Structure 1
Amino acid sequence: MAEQKNPQAQPELSLSEQTRIRREKLTNLQAEGQNPFVITRFDWDATSQQIKDNFDAMEGKPVKVAGRLMSKRGMGKVSFCDLQDRDGRIQLYARQDEMDEEVYKKFKKFDIGDIVGVEGEAFRTQRGEMSVRAHNITLLSKSLLPLPEKFHGLQDKELRFRQRYVDLMVNPEVKKNFVIRSQFIKFMRNYLDNMGYMEVETPVLNTIAGGAAARPFITHHNTLDIDMYMRIATELPLKRLIVGGMDRVYEIGRIFRNEGMDPKHNPEFTTVEMYQAYADFHTMMDIAEGILAGAAKEINGSYQVEWMGEQIDLTPGWRRLTMVDAVKEYVGVDFGTITDDAEAVAAAKAVGVELADAAEKTWGNALYACFDQKVEEKLIQPTFITMYPVEVSPLTKRSPADPRLTERFELFICHSELANAYSELNDPIDQRQRFEKQVEQRERGDDETEMLDEDFLTAMEYGMPPTGGMGMGIDRCVMLLTGADTIREVILFPTMKPLDN
């Protein structure tokens, strides 16, 4: 029997009329004692992909499948439907004389979007399409709202992100991003576990927001009558564990920052932070490269990825470039030959980089501003930018060769930062002084600077070993691996502005 198309176009009903009809159908079913919502389980034994992958062995054999009806064709004595389950879609073939007459009659009233359980057998139609010949179809859940129009689907991005459940139903390719996300996190866990790291959990609510330069979300604990902060990083608790003797730790978790939203930023996002005693930032570079390159090869089968219109080569052996050398190469200013703050500020100004705050007019801030404004946008292929000024690295160990700089790197791919790592500062006296400078900035109105964490300083005074630490943005790593152009495509439920009532 060849697949049939509906010979006559049906008059288009309004959304409200379609909804009314579906509710009437439910009411009638319930009145007949056939309420689909009382069914508690359906023991399926195959998915659409399992049937297709093993069709030669399964052809003619009994199968039970379950999923959502995505289309209906025919509906005379022979009907064709597309059933969508967790793996994909498979065609259903239903013939009146091969089913109980009452079952087929009820099935004809099912709507697109209804969830059904099907008992039948795997077979191939005359056109060669792998299908399930239905012997019994059970309505497991009634869809009271119609799915988006067949040919245009759900294309409005705002609506897609607000109603991800519908997005996943009608745009099955969207699920691939989240499969890759899950695979990436699994790969990363295995990578770190195999290196002897231990996964831990640290508090989301804290009395001090520390570990990053960011504006926190503030809440209030009623019993203690104190304000508390959603964490902006996991760094300081994890370093406390290093002090306590847990030499290799990592945490994958949600971070919350009360900042703007754009294609690369969401107020809540996911990071992995890791700390390894007796290691430095070079160790962290190797780990970052190993995780991202290894994940690309295992998940996508290649070191080559396309992201934001660029062909990116993740083959190991990524470029490592100091910030001084990067500014010299891309901007033409050699801060390595400049020793005076005023000269550095003047050199920055000469290339169009202004430092407004008098307290920020230092060699280090001038170097960083030139990099931030003139270089970052030019970094396409994987590049580790190393040796950051101490002014912008309050938790990082100074360079023995130049105390104005720190042993820090950020990883840039396609002008996006994907990782940030240090040879961690373990001098409690130096750490206190840097915290105090951050407090001074905070008092001048910069509410994104570090708060002074006395307990963390106490921990450091007990002695912290030389340590390498790194944070990676999981969402951006997944964007890279999937080619997504916005972070909202890789977060299942991104933050959205409420709709006007």
Structure 2
Amino acid sequence: VKMVPRLRFLRPYSVQPLPTGTPSGCSAYLRALMAARLKELRPAGGLEYPRLTKKGKSRSVRAFQAEFGTRAATDLASVSEQYTLCGRVLHVRRFGAKFYIIKIQENGSSTQALVNLGKLTDGTDSKHFKALSMLLKRGDHISVTGRPARSDSMELSIEALHSPQLLSPSIAPLPFQIPQESRMHNRHMDLLLNRSARDTLLVRAFIIHHLREHLHKTLKCVEVQTPILAANAGGAVARPFSTYATEFVHKDMALRIAPELWLKRLIVGGLDRIFEIGPSFRNEGVDATHNPEFTTCEFYLAYTNLDSLLHITENLMATLAKGVSAFLAKNELQVEAPDPKIFEKRFERVEFIPALEEALGQPLPNLDSPRAVTDILKLLEDAGKEWHKSLPPNPSLPKLLDHMAAAVIEPKSSDRPLYIINHPVCMSPLAKSFTCPTTGQQVAARAELFFGGNELANMYEEENDPFKQKRKFVNQAKAKLDQQGVAVADQDDDPAHVIDEQYISVLESGLPPTGGWGCGVDRLVMLFTGSKRISEVLPFGNLRNVVGLAS
């Protein structure tokens, strides 16, 4: 036999021998414990799962503590009203045959119940009292009705006047810890045992609430919902999830990559200030900061330019940082958020092309040239730079430029928020463009917000010229197909880059000058909880974890 770390039910840091090789040893061990627990529960009526009835005033543990936590023992002795608390048993301490203490937890708060046979008023005899005290185990859900009191150690407690009621037994034993590699596959256990995992989800909920409140109250936006399943994935350049619907068996469908094109249709329809918080999907890889299913927040404001978007973003991030800091302090959460003072100053702005040229020591070639990729690769080789080595042999121009920025510009955001502005037009087909006065290159009126090397938000002035937009769509599709060696006439063969003619026709009805903004909510949560991996801020981890659970 070999000694391996296991789920422990009595001693949290020990190991136990298991047969070499097979995980079935774990299953057999758990099955044996569960069989013994069922044998104990069944004759005692512990498997009844009763409907919830409350004999006293219902209180949450937190409300009970808030109401009585500061009152002295002599003051509590005068309280005649009875209260009912519910929660999960953390442990039971027995003191002879007539007294035991139950530690219970509910929604992150815990207290203890003092159960003394001599204080019970419901006629419980000593036999049933002892049987229940031995039946209750760590992990069980119970209700306790009694009066507030102080224990001998002066800890606020509820002194039971009725025998505790077993609401839902824990048939599978509740361990004290689980191995790191098993956390996401046993997420319910992870949330029960690791407070930081639970606290991270609470911060996530607060961030989404704050975004929604800020957009409603400060920016006066209307929240909308747009299609998730449609004939076109819409918006960003990415590989979509393709499927079909029984209603349209001969038509390809896709999960949305982004809600952008739908939202701009609503702007054309006269809803001048709108936002949406919801899921988007990209059929691409899983890593520390990417998951195929992710949550985005996008808003669109008519008659708004890039400079206004930058100021709006700075204000939003500053208020969010302060809000998270106050939320953590109020609820005593165990996560690490950045200092709110970091977001109080104006964010640094770095222009995309000048920053690359400064790092190279020479200007970039004409990015509108068909030879742009070849010229840049030669320039990198001559300069001895290896910023592109992780790319395939024939990269597209946007991918090449993006990798160069990741190597040179994005690291500047390691300890502070940073705007990268005025991207080359080939990287932003949905943004308005202009000639950069510094470099003479065609650039987009766009900015990306980075912090810690991760992109947090993307914003730009929306292209509202239908003729330019169609030309940009065509150029985008042509570049992609040329890279794949496919003729432009065959562009319909690539469903990820079909030109959205319907969207072009919408622009012909008149899109006002509009500022669009989008952020990855999951990345925001990572920033404000100090999480290193996106799986840590998702309720059930990334796609690998979810598929593992389903199988």
Give the TM-score, by structure 2 length.
0.80
Q: Which residue of 2 aligns with 1:346?
A: 378
Q: Could you say if the C-alpha distance between residues 353 and 14 of structure 1 is closer, same or farther in structure 2, counting changes exceeding 3 Å?
A: closer
Relative to structure 2, which stretch is displaced further, 105-114 or 229-238?
A: 105-114
Compute the displacement of 1:365 (Å). Answer: 7.0
Q: Which residue of 2 aligns with 1:111?
A: 137
Separation in 2 of the partners of 1:86 and 1:309? 26
Separation in 2 of the partners of 1:367 and 1:266? 23
* Aligned partners of 1:368 and 1:389 also within 8 Å: no
Of 35, 58, 61 in structure 2, the residue corresponding to residue 45 of structure 1 is 58
Aligned amino acid, residue 65 of structure 1: L
Report the RMSD for the aligned CA atoms in angstroms: 3.1
Compute the displacement of 1:336 (Å). Answer: 7.1
Compute the displacement of 1:257 (Å). Answer: 1.2
Separation in 2 of the partners of 1:444 and 1:27? 70
Of 201, 204, 228 in structure 1, the residue corresponding to residue 225 of structure 2 is 201
Of 139, 142, 153 in structure 2, the residue corresponding to residue 127 of structure 1 is 153
Q: Could you say if the C-alpha distance between residues 334 and 82 of structure 1 is closer, same or farther in structure 2, counting changes exceeding 3 Å?
A: farther
Secondary structure in 2 matching 1:463: coil
Given the alignment of the two structures, is residue 389 of structure 1 paired with residue 389 of structure 2, yes or no? no
* Aligned partners of 1:254 and 1:269 also within 8 Å: yes
Separation in 2 of the partners of 1:417 and 1:312? 20
Of 292, 298, 319 in structure 2, the residue corresponding to residue 273 of structure 1 is 298
Separation in 2 of the partners of 1:482 and 1:451? 39
Q: Which residue of 2 aligns with 1:243?
A: 268
Q: Which residue of 2 aligns with 1:9?
A: none
Compute the displacement of 1:244 (Å). Answer: 0.9
Of 89, 93, 103 in structure 2, the residue corresponding to residue 69 of structure 1 is 89
Relative to structure 2, which stretch is displaced further, 122-131 or 414-423?
A: 122-131
Compute the displacement of 1:309 (Å). Answer: 10
Q: Could you tell me which runs of 5 or more consecutive residues in structure 1 were left unpaired when the two chains were aligned.
A: 1-5, 7-11
Q: Work out the number of aligned pairs and report it.
A: 481
Separation in 2 of the partners of 1:500 and 1:183? 28
Relative to structure 2, which stretch is displaced further, 192-201 or 134-143?
A: 134-143
Separation in 2 of the partners of 1:297 and 1:22? 48
* Aligned partners of 2:289 and 2:523 also within 8 Å: yes
* Aligned partners of 1:296 and 1:302 also within 8 Å: no
Given the alignment of the two structures, is residue 314 of structure 1 paired with residue 343 of structure 2, yes or no? yes
* Aligned partners of 1:115 and 1:140 also within 8 Å: yes
Of 323, 329, 343 in structure 1, the residue corresponding to residue 352 of structure 2 is 323
Separation in 1 of the partners of 2:536 and 2:76? 38
Of 493, 500, 508 in structure 2, the residue corresponding to residue 453 of structure 1 is 500
Given the alignment of the two structures, is residue 228 of structure 1 paired with residue 256 of structure 2, yes or no? no
Q: Could you say if the C-alpha distance between residues 313 and 130 of structure 1 is closer, same or farther in structure 2, counting changes exceeding 3 Å?
A: same
Q: Which residue of 2 aligns with 1:141?
A: 168
Aligned amino acid, residue 98 of structure 1: K
Q: Which residue of 2 aligns with 1:422?
A: 460
Separation in 1 of the partners of 2:171 and 2:41? 8
Separation in 1 of the partners of 2:239 and 2:285? 10
Separation in 1 of the partners of 2:59 and 2:508? 60
Offset from partner CA, 1:205-259 (integer Å, 9 cap, x none): 0101121111111111122112211111010000111111110110000111111
Give the TM-score, by structure 1 length.
0.87
Q: Which residue of 1 aligns with 2:210?
A: 187
Aligned amino acid, residue 539 of structure 2: L
Separation in 2 of the partners of 1:126 and 1:307? 36
Offset from partner CA, 1:56-89 (integer Å, 9 cap, x none): 3583433211011011122532212210101411
Relative to structure 2, which stretch is displaced further, 368-377 or 71-80?
A: 368-377
Q: Could you say if the C-alpha distance between residues 324 and 175 of structure 1 is closer, same or farther in structure 2, counting changes exceeding 3 Å?
A: same
Q: Which residue of 2 aligns with 1:413?
A: 451
Q: Could you tell me which runs of 5 or more consecutive residues in structure 2 were left unpaired when the two chains were aligned.
A: 1-9, 11-15, 17-27, 329-333, 485-493
Offset from partner CA, 1:237-287 (integer Å, 9 cap, x none): 001111111101100001111111111111111010111111122222222
Identity %: 31
Given the alignment of the two structures, is residue 372 of structure 1 paired with residue 406 of structure 2, yes or no? yes
Relative to structure 2, which stretch is displaced further, 229-238 or 169-178?
A: 169-178
* Aligned partners of 2:89 and 2:137 also within 8 Å: yes
Separation in 1 of the partners of 2:479 and 2:53? 60
Of 134, 141, 159 in structure 1, the residue corresponding to residue 182 of structure 2 is 159
Offset from partner CA, 1:103-161 (integer Å, 9 cap, x none): 5234211121110011012222122222222222111112110011x3xx1242x4222
Q: Could you say if the C-alpha distance between residues 400 and 445 of structure 1 is closer, same or farther in structure 2, counting changes exceeding 3 Å?
A: closer
